Structure 1
């Protein structure tokens, strides 16, 4: 059986048919075209989808079609229907499988890419410039690679060329990948792309964008020294990956409360969190979204930052530091009041403070309070045992050693043990040093900390939002942290091996686009991206070659695979995606 026979058998099974269309020329003549089509239901409406254009009716190879019908009839065991005596078999030497590439996952991502108008936004940024390669397709391939099988740009180019079927992109190389990345971040292109994508996403998913959550992270580079000069991008700074020994960059991410990433930023590695919020505020304000409440963590809750967030009618929800000795914070925490139950693990209490229009909400998590108490008691028990061990060892050595040199050596060892305990990352906070130099457990600090078990303090400038919504809005800040976690793990944002600043920015932007597509797919299907990618990764485009040509046939979809495409509102890949007669 030839590849064309497989095509026509598929036509019988799925209801394909031949149809004609016509076009009228300026001179009044009519030209008719023959097409292979089938009907597909889209949103309850039956629509004709063209699978293959056979060409003009007056130039059609009718004998070839008759031979095709004859070969199909022989395969089905039916008699030939009036074929010419000189008709030759079309089957030839049969079919061979000459290739197979995964197509399901990348087809879903491509459908979401187009639905979110990312392709249109990129074409708008690129303008009327002509390129030898379709830059938009190359950028999509790099984004898809991040979401499916993240690797270096060289390996991604090979992956797109040999290991996956991407519509509109036969092949690409490393130079084309880097050129596309350079175009992505030139001038204000990245801001324009993010703005266009944001409004497309907000409209398509009907997102509530009155609450934006913002947080930062850092990612490091595999090199020993930072770059020279004040304008250097890869710099040493406070590493949230606990790699202070490596230079880094700082990344900011804004997400909706549904977890959809709407914008990403990138700064030099030594940038302080307190210095970047005005830029974030100005960039989001330029989108003219109307009333926006920005949710930030305790690292951004300085008075200057909070005042800046209120400019232009904006509002904030901010986590406040409870242990920095701020008199206002101490006043709020000391106020009495009754908690309001929000959820099983969350209670809230609003505190009004005279002289300010900022509202304060104390949140209490009973489960977290129990964990805090248990963790503290375990630490104190361990400290008491260590201090008692050092005390007994000191007394034993005093009576055991007769000469002064031995006593001095033993005392030095005990002091070293005490210093190690005082400098311990988690135990040292519960110790204080007496005037004699001995370490004691700080009972006053333990009592003060016990009052804060399971509590965190929020401040908001919005006079209308309820205390319950304030607490729940702040808890949604975990979505930004989940976005960073997925970018660093599933999408392999780190480690970064790029050297040039614009390439680093492009790499971060590609990871952001991949995260956006992944989150949209997760939100529409209600399942994890790992499950989606695993299921759709089993859908392949198989190349079948015979003596008469080659056809590319998509493996049939299972019910679960078809459900993913339906839930994401993406048309599944066609049964026959290519037909090349020999």
Structure 2
């Protein structure tokens, strides 16, 4: 505290003033108390100006001691003035949920990764600040790159770069995409125990709001059934659904061809060569199986029963030879009792192709069979309505289209031309019913128990959940960037955001849903109280306690001084 004076034409006023560092990191000061005018003080104290100044300094010293005692007692007294207007452009609300993501970001060593990249490219902007803000805003407030920069301006730590630097950084991030992924994977092993003995692979695609193909943005089969050009993403996750690597390829390319290039990157740059490759039937071609049969790798892939050779298909559809998974006792599927309807049954046999000796496992689930039967019943009802209305729509390639059950007859019994007659194809319905409840898996693990193999295959829902989070919660599509490098960088930031989120989720031990975690982080706001510190504006809950616990910081005090908040920011970066 110090004494300052203010002179006007007719008087001189004395104040006690406090210096501090404001939210922008600049040194400034504010008046704590008005002591009075020189005329008032000389009359009340009975002294001259020098005596008034000595008295004022003593008051400042006493005010300083009081302030220090209040700090030691963890009590903060902040003066408010009902007759004082707010300053222009004075920000009072700040967002702090990113601090918990920041602890994961720095735990993954992205600051060190960015320094290595900077040393190679010799740019001047702060790549670490740009990348971190792109990741935080993708999780908390997804939007365009311009919107991300604007959103980051409301964080407790404002951007240390300009908006145009973001677009320059995208080109560098695209060039260093594989390096960033490999380093993130290696560093993630220091944060969590990764279940990287199992790798799930799947593909999805993202549309662009454009009408013509351009570069890698090609017309293809969109997951959203949109008529827009798309790019495709192939992604590996570990056995717990934590992202490991991804690649981007044109929208018109066969996704089967995306597996080997990305897997070779994992083998060469990630230094990871021993795992079980698991995917659905669409990515389990003979070539991909053969590739994953080499070295220390194995595969567990879904197999289409309809595409099996005739002899193997009939064996799979035959209800005999099944065993109960729980105790391996023989079961006849035609005689399953009501108490067994929730069980799972299987049978297996050798399955040899031209190049591989495999094992074919067929499972049967009564519960899944009942579900499929109900779905088909509703589709048959819709098909009957089509026939009754005489307005049969052209069948699409969608295998669930009810029009597939509508047959067409356009000749008489004598073979003469006749009007078109539509009918319900009972034979097709009966043929599809044969597959109810059945599921097939192929693997080169010839001697392993069936239960662990099935458990690995069932875990594919985790990678599907990753794509759902990226598309729905992180709003990765539609993508608005246009240049190829920037498209790649955009999906890199989405991938890294998913990695950061998944690690935080795993640290929370799966106790909370994605919606609960994200909504809580988004609500963790702070009010700036007269530049003295911050007041939390969120509700304390079991989840906020868990977030503080796993991230090693605490922001749930009634009041947080500016100095203490700077300490929290440092701890979230692992610097204190």
1:203 paired to 2:190: yes
Shift of 1:362: 1.4
Counterparts of 2:20 and 2:134 in 1: how far apart (Å)? 34
Indicate if the aligned counterparts of 1:301 and 1:319 stay in contact, CA closer than 8 A.
yes
Which sits farther off after the overlay, 350-359 or 316-325? 350-359
Instruction: Give the distance between the partners of 2:546 and 2:301, measured in 1 at CA.
Output: 38
Q: What is the root-mean-square deviation in Å for CA atoms of aligned residues?
A: 3.7
Within a 5 Å distance, the mapping from 1:68-467 to structure 2 comes to 68-70=64-66, 98-127=90-119, 131-161=123-153, 163-166=154-157, 169-186=158-175, 189-227=176-214, 232-243=215-226, 245-286=227-268, 287-324=270-307, 326-327=309-310, 329-334=312-317, 336-341=320-325, 345=342, 347-353=344-350, 355=352, 357-384=357-384, 386-387=386-387, 389=388, 417-418=391-392, 420=394, 426-434=401-409, 436=411, 438-467=421-450
Range moving further from structure 2, 419-428 or 119-128: 419-428
Cα separation, partners in 2 of 1:93 and 1:6, compared to 1, 3 Å:
farther
Q: Shift of the alpha carbon at 1:325?
A: 5.6
C-alpha spacing 1:476/1:63, structure 2 compared with 1 (3 Å): farther
- How far apart, in 1, do the equivalents of 2:395 and 2:301 lie? 35
Q: 1:576 aligns with which of 561, 565, 576?
A: 561
2:507 is aligned to: 524
8 A Cα contact 1:554 1:577, kept in partner: no
Does the CA contact (< 8 Å) of 1:142 and 1:510 recur in 2?
yes
SS at match of 1:185: helix
CA contact (8 A) 1:145 1:156 kept: yes
Structure 1 residues 204 and 463: CA distance shift in structure 2, 3 A: farther
Contact 2:351/2:358, CA 8 A, preserved across alignment: no
Unaligned runs of 5+ in 2: 2-15, 22-56, 73-77, 327-339, 412-419, 566-576
Instruction: Measure, in 2, the Cα distance between the counterparts of 1:553 and 1:283.
Output: 46
Indicate the residue corresponding to 2:487 in structure 1. Answer: 504
Structure 1: distance between partners of 2:58 and 2:182: 53
Q: 1:579 to 1:263 in 2, by over 3 A?
A: closer
8 Å contact from structure 1 (residues 101, 540) kept in 2: yes
CA distance 1:350–1:576, shift in 2 (3 Å): farther
Deviations 1:118-157 (A, max 9, x none): 2222322332655443210111001100000111111211
Shift of 1:183: 1.5
For residues 251-285 of structure 1, what are the alpha-carbon distances to aligned partners after superposition, in whole Å with 9 as ceiling and x for unaligned? 11111221211112111111111211211221222
| TM-score of the pair, normalised by structure 2 | 0.73
Structure 2 CA distance for partners of 1:385 and 1:206, relative to 1, 3 Å:
closer
Q: Is the 1:158–1:172 Cα contact (8 Å) retained in structure 2? A: no
Change (3 A) 1:74 1:382: closer
Number of the residue aligned with 2:528: 543
The one-character-per-residue Cα deviations of 1:393-449 (angstroms, maximum 9, x if unpaired) are xxxxxxxxxxxxxxxxxxxxx6xx356579996223224445726444333332222
In the alignment of these two chains, the number of paired residues is 475
Q: Partners in 1 of 2:292 and 2:70 — Cα distance?
A: 76
Distance between the aligned counterparts of 1:317 and 1:520, measured in 2? 25
Q: Which residue of 1 aligns with 2:7?
A: none
Look up the SS of the partner of 1:568 in the other structure. helix
Is residue 361–residue 459 contact of structure 1 (8 Å, CA) maintained in 2? yes
Q: Distance in 1 between matches of 2:70 and 2:461?
A: 64
Is 1:553 equivalent to 2:534 in the alignment?
yes
